[in-house]
C-alpha cells in the first residue's frame, strides 16, 4: 500500500483502538502510538522496522495517542550538521571514550563509567546534543557497538596493569532492539578477552521507556553470561518503579537531580534515602550521580547509598589518564 493508504489504515486503527472498553464496572479508554514507514526500494527489513520504530518513538514523545509517518521525522538543520559530524567522526577517528570513576563510600573504586566523546572540526560536540541525534537517526547502533568494543578493551588494559575494575558502558534502546546485540556483546568480550563480570551495561532512559520482548530477552541473556545491568538516571523521566520489578538489574543509579539539592532539600533527601533502601532491598548496588561537594557526599552517606560518582571524586578523563589514576591509587 502507498503512503496515503497506510496513513488511512493507521488512522482507522487508532479510532478502533480508542473505543472505550467496559470490563465489569470499569471503563477503559485505550490509546496507541503508531509509527509508519513505507518500504523504500532496496531497503532491508531491519532498516524498515527501525524507521517505523523511530516514528513510533516520536509519536510517544509527542504525547502518544497519535500517528507519525517515518518521513515526518525530519531532522532540524542543526541536527543534520550533528549527524554529518557523527558520520565523519565514525570514519576518521573523531570518537573517543572518556572515563569517570565511581567510588564506594569506603573509597575503593566500585566501577568506571565510559562516556562517549565526539570531535568535529577540532571541537567537542556535547553528548546531550549528539546522543539524541544518534538515537533519532539510528546511528547509535554503530556508535554503541564502537563503545562496547572500546570499553571492553579499556577493561582489558586495566586488568593487564593489575588494577581490574568493573567497566560500565552506556547502551541505548535501539541497540537492544536489535537481535544482533548479543552477538556484538559476545564479540566485544571475546576480542578484549575480559571476564563478563567486569562489564556492566548502563540502561538509559530511552530504553526504560519501552521494554519490548526483544529488549528483555537481550537483557536476560546479558545477565546470564554474567554482565551487570545498571538502571541509569533513575527517578526522573520515564523510569518508574515497575522497571525495578521487571528488569534483572544489579545496580541503581540515582539521577543527579536529587543529589544537586542536598543537603538542604530535606524532601529530596527523604526520596534518596527511600530509593536507596528500595534498591538495596531488591539486591542492587545503589549509586548517586553528580556529587560535587563534600556536604552532598556526607548527606548521601547518611542516606545509605553504596557508592557515588561526580566531579568531587574525578571528572571524566582520557583512557591514559584513567590508567595512571588507577595505578597511583593502587600504590597509595
Ligand atoms: P550518564 O550516563 O548519566 O552519564 C553521566 C553524565 O554526568 C556525564 O555527562 C558526566 O560527565 C556527567 N557528570 C558526572 N559527574 C558530574 C557532576 O558532578 N556534575 C555534573 N553536573 N555532571 C556530572 P556526559 O558525558 O555529557 O554524558 C551525557 C549522557 O550521554 C550520559 O549520561 C549518557 O546518557 C549519554 N552517553 C554518553 N556516552 C554514551 C554512549 O557510549 N552510549 C550511549 N547510548 N549514551 C551515552
Ligand atoms: Mg550512564
Ligand atoms: Mg546517569
Go through 52-90 and write b for each residue having 16 or more CB atoms within 10 A of its CB, e for each that does not. bbbbbbbbbeeeebbbbbbeebeeeeebeebbebbeebb
Nearest alpha-carbon partner for 325 in 314, 306, 294, 155: 314
For residues 19 and 217, what is the distance between their CA atoms, to the nearest angstrom? 32
Q: Is the CB of 128 under 6 A from ligand 1?
A: yes
CA distances from 61 to 55, 64, 125, 210, 293 (A): 10, 7, 24, 12, 35
pLDDT of residue 75: 67
Question: Alpha helices of 45-161 — where are they, by DSSP H?
Answer: 45-61, 77-92, 127-137, 140-160
Mutation test residue for ligand 1: of 115, 135, 313, the one with most atoms within 8 Å of CB: 115
Ligand 1, atom 20, residue with closest C-alpha: 290
Q: Is the dihedral of CA 83, 89, 91, 95 positive or negative?
A: negative
Beta-bridge mates of residue 167:
112, 199
Ligand 3 geometric centre to CA of 67 (Å): 31
What ligand 1 atom has the least distance to the C-alpha of 312? 18
Ligand 1, atom 45, residue with closest C-alpha: 170
Q: What's the grid cell of residue 309?
A: 560518582
Ligand 3 geometric centre to CA of 292 (Å): 14
For residues 149 and 187, what is the distance between their CA atoms, to the nearest angstrom? 8
Is the pTM higher than 0.75? The answer reads yes
Ligand 2 geometric centre to CA of 36 (Å): 31
Q: Is the CB of 323 under 6 A from ligand 1?
A: no
pLDDT of residue 238: 65
- How many of the other CB atoms lie within 10 Å of CB of 203? 27
Q: Is the CB of 310 under 6 A from ligand 1?
A: yes
pLDDT of residue 261: 95
Name residues of the chain where pLDDT drops below 50. Answer: none
pLDDT of residue 265: 95
What ligand 1 atom has the least distance to the C-alpha of 98? 25
Mutation test residue for ligand 1: of 86, 126, 131, 139, the one with most atoms within 8 Å of CB: 131
Ligand 2 geometric centre to CA of 170 (Å): 5
pLDDT digits (tens, 9 = 90+) for 110-138: 999 999 999 988 889 999 999 989 988 88
pLDDT of residue 290: 97
pLDDT of residue 328: 94
Indicate the length of the chain as a whole number: 332
CA distances from 85 to 19, 90, 107, 305 (A): 46, 9, 39, 39
Q: What's the grid cell of residue 100?
A: 569517570
Q: Is the CB of 202 under 6 A from ligand 1?
A: yes
Ligand 3 geometric centre to CA of 13 (Å): 37
For residues 299 and 265, what is the distance between their CA atoms, to the nearest angstrom? 11
pLDDT of residue 241: 78
**301 contacts: CB under 8 Å, gap ≥ 6:** 105
Provide the residues around ligand 3 (an ion) whose CB is within 5 A: 232-233, 289
Residue linked to cell 521507556: 209
Amino acid at each position: 500500500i502507498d503512503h496515503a493508504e497506510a496513513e488511512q489504515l493507521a488512522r482507522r486503527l487508532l479510532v478502533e483502538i480508542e473505543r472505550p472498553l467496559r470490563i465489569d464496572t470499569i471503563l477503559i479508554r485505550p490509546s496507541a502510538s503508531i509509527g509508519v514507514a513505507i518500504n523504500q526500494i532496496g531497503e532491508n527489513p531491519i532498516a524498515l522496522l527501525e524507521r517505523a520504530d523511530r516514528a513510533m518513538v516520536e509519536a510517544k514523545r509527542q504525547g502518544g495517542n497519535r500517528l507519525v509517518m517515518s518521513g515526518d521525522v525530519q531532522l532540524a538543520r542543526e541536527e543534520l550538521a550533528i549527524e554529518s559530524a557523527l558520520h565523519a567522526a565514525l570514519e576518521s577517528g573523531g570518537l573517543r571514550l572518556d572515563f569517570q570513576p565511581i567510588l564506594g563510600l569506603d573509597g575503593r573504586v566500585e566501577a568506571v563509567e565510559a562516556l562517549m566523546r565526539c570531535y568535529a572540526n577540532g571541537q567537542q560536540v556535547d553528548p546531550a546534543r549528539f546522543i539524541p541525534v544518534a538515537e533519532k537517526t539510528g546511528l547509535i547502533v554503530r556508535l554503541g557497538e564502537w563503545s562496547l568494543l572500546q570499553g571492553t578493551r579499556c577493561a582489558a588494559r586495566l586488568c593487564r596493569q593489575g588494577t581490574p575494575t568493573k567497566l560500565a558502558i552506556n547502551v541505548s534502546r535501539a541497540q537492544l532492539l536489535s537481535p544482533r546485540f548479543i552477538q556484538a556483546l559476545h564479540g566485544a568480550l571475546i576480542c578484549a578477552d575480559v571476564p563478563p563480570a567486569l562489564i556492566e551495561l548502563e540502561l538509559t532512559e530511552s530504553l526504560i521507556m519501552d521494554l519490548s520482548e526483544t529488549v528483555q530477552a537481550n537483557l536476560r541473556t546479558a545477565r546470564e553470561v554474567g554482565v551487570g545491568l545498571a538502571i541509569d538516571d533513575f527517578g526522573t523521566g520515564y523510569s518508574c518503579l515497575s522497571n525495578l520489578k521487571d528488569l534483572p538489574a544489579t545496580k541503581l543509579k540515582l539521577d543527579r537531580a536529587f543529589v544537586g539539592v542536598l543537603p538542604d532539600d530535606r524532601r529530596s533527601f527523604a526520596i534518596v534515602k527511600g530509593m536507596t533502601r528500595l534498591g538495596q532491598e531488591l539486591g542492587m548496588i545503589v549509586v548517586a550521580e553528580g556529587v560535587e561537594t563534600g556536604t552532598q557526599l556526607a548527606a548521601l552517606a547518611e542516606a545509605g547509598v553504596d557508592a557515588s560518582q561526580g566531579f568531587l571524586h574525578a571528572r571524566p578523563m582520557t583512557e591514559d589518564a584513567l590508567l595512571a589514576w588507577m595505578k597511583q591509587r593502587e600504590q597509595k
